C-alpha cells in the first residue's frame, strides 16, 4: 500500500484532534473520518504515482476525485458510505486549504452520490410494551430482570441511545423528573422522565447486589462491572424471537419508537428534536415520513373503497 507523506499524516492527526477538541466530535466519529480520509490518500498515491504532499491535496482536479469515487463504488462501497467518506474528505481538504491558502473550490464543490435515506423502523405501541415486559422474563435472577427492564424502559420512555442509558452513573439515582443527558458531540439536553421510568430504575437499584456510588456506572453486569451494551442487544434479540417481532427490534428501535409515537400523538417536531438531541431538524423529520407511511397503510386497509 502506498505510504502517506509524513506531513500529511501529521496533518491528519492534528485535524482529528481538532474535530474532537473544538467541534466536539465523538471518538468513534473521528476514527471513522480519519479512516475514510486515509483510504482516499492511499488511493491518490496509487492513482497519481506517489504520495502527495499537503500543497496539491487542496487543489486536486475533479477528475482525480471522480476516479476515487468510481474506485470505491467498483469495490462495493454503498452510495451512503461513499457520501460519508466524501464528507470526511471535504472536511479535511477545507481544513488543509484554510491553513495553506490554497483554493479548494474544485474538491468542495464535488457532488455527493445520491441515495435513498433509510426510514427509522419503530415498533408498534403494543410491540414496544411487549418488548419491555419480555426482556424482564429472560433472566431467573430478579435483579438482572429488573435491570434489563429499567434499561429498555429508558430507551423507550426517554428516547435515550443505549450509550446514554448505560452512561448514567449512580448519581442519577433517584431518577429526577428531568434528566440531564450528554449526547453525541458532548451536546447536553434535558429529558423529562416518566413516573414509570423512575419506578423501574428504583426497583433495579433496590435489588442490585452491588454498591452504586455516584461516580460509577448505574447499570452493572453480573460480575459487578459496567453493563456491556451487547447484553441488552442479546436479551432484546431473544425477546423479539419469542414475540415474533422483526429483526429491526433493536435497542435503537426503542428510541425510534419513542419519537414516532410522540409524533403520532401530536408531538411538536421541534420539541422532539430537542428530546432526541438531534443537531439538525432534517434528521428528526425522518419520523414524519414514517408517520405518513403508517397512515397510508391504515388508510389502504380500512377505507371501504380500498
Q: Is residue 252 among the annotated active site residues?
A: yes
Active site residue 210: no
Question: From CA 227, how far away is CA 220, in angstroms rounded?
Answer: 5
The question of whether 111 is a catalytic residue gets the answer no
Cα 41 to Cα 26: distance, rounded to the nearest angstrom: 23
| Catalytic residue check, 204 | no
DSSP 3-state percent helix, strand, coil across the chain (nearest 5): 60, 5, 35
State yes or no: is 9 an active-site residue. Answer: no
213 burial via Cβ count (<10 Å: 0-12, 13-18, 19+)? exposed
Alpha-carbon distance of 45 to 39, in angstroms, equals: 10
Question: Which is catalytic among the residues 198, 255, 256, 261?
Answer: 255
DSSP state of 104: -
User: Within 10 Å of residue 72's Cβ, how many Cβ atoms?
Assistant: 21
Cα angle at 175 between 26 and 264, to 5 degrees?
75
- 48, 71, 252, 294: which one is catalytic? 252
Cβ atoms of 8 and 54 closer than 8 Å: yes
Q: Is 31 an active-site residue?
A: no
Residues 161, 220, 240, 261: which is the catalytic one? Answer: 161
Burial status of residue 216 (CB atoms within 10 A of its CB: 0-12, 13-18, 19 or more): middle
C-alpha torsion angle, residues 86, 90, 93, 98 (rounded to 10): -170
> For residue 83, how far is the Cα from the chain centroid?
16
**Polymer length of the chain:** 306
Q: Please count the other Cβ atoms lying within 10 Å of the Cβ belonging to residue 175.
A: 22
CB under 8 Å to 201, separation ≥6 — which residues?
Answer: 150, 153, 154, 172, 173, 174, 175, 218
Catalytic member of 184, 189, 238, 294: 184
As annotated, the active-site residues are 161, 184, 252, 255, 278, 287
Amino acid at each position: 500500500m502506498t505510504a502517506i507523506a509524513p506531513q500529511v499524516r501529521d496533518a491528519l492527526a492534528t485535524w482529528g484532534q481538532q474535530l474532537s477538541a473544538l467541534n466536539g466530535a465523538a471518538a468513534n466519529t473521528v476514527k471513522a473520518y480519519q479512516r475514510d480520509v486515509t483510504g482516499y490518500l492511499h488511493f491518490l498515491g496509487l492513482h497519481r504515482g506517489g504520495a502527495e504532499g499537503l500543497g496539491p491535496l487542496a487543489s486536486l482536479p475533479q477528475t482525480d476525485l471522480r476516479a476515487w469515487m468510481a474506485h470505491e463504488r467498483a469495490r462495493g462501497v454503498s452510495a451512503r458510505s461513499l457520501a460519508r467518506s466524501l464528507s470526511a474528505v471535504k472536511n479535511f481538504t477545507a481544513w488543509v486549504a484554510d491553513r495553506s491558502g490554497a483554493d479548494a473550490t474544485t474538491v468542495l464543490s464535488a457532488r455527493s452520490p445520491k441515495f435513498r435515506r433509510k426510514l427509522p423502523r419503530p415498533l408498534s405501541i403494543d410491540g414496544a410494551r411487549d418488548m419491555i415486559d419480555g426482556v424482564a422474563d429472560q433472566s431467573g435472577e430478579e435483579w438482572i430482570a429488573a435491570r434489563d427492564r429499567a434499561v429498555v424502559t429508558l430507551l423507550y420512555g426517554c428516547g435515550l441511545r443505549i450509550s446514554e442509558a448505560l452512561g448514567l452513573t449512580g448519581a442519577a439515582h433517584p431518577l429526577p423528573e428531568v434528566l440531564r443527558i450528554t449526547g453525541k458531540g458532548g451536546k447536553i439536553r434535558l429529558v423529562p422522565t416518566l413516573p414509570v421510568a423512575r419506578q423501574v430504575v428504583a426497583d433495579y437499584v433496590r435489588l442490585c447486589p452491588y454498591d452504586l456510588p455516584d461516580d460509577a456506572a448505574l447499570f452493572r453486569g453480573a460480575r459487578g462491572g459496567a453493563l456491556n451494551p451487547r447484553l441488552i442487544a442479546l436479551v432484546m434479540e431473544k425477546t423479539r424471537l419469542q414475540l415474533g417481532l422483526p429483526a429491526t427490534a433493536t435497542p435503537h428501535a426503542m428510541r425510534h419508537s419513542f419519537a414516532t409515537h410522540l409524533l403520532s400523538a401530536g408531538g411538536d417536531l421541534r420539541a422532539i428534536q430537542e428530546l432526541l438531541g438531534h443537531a439538525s431538524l432534517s434528521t428528526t423529520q425522518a419520523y414524519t415520513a414514517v408517520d405518513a407511511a403508517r397512515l397510508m397503510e391504515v388508510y389502504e386497509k380500512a377505507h371501504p373503497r380500498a
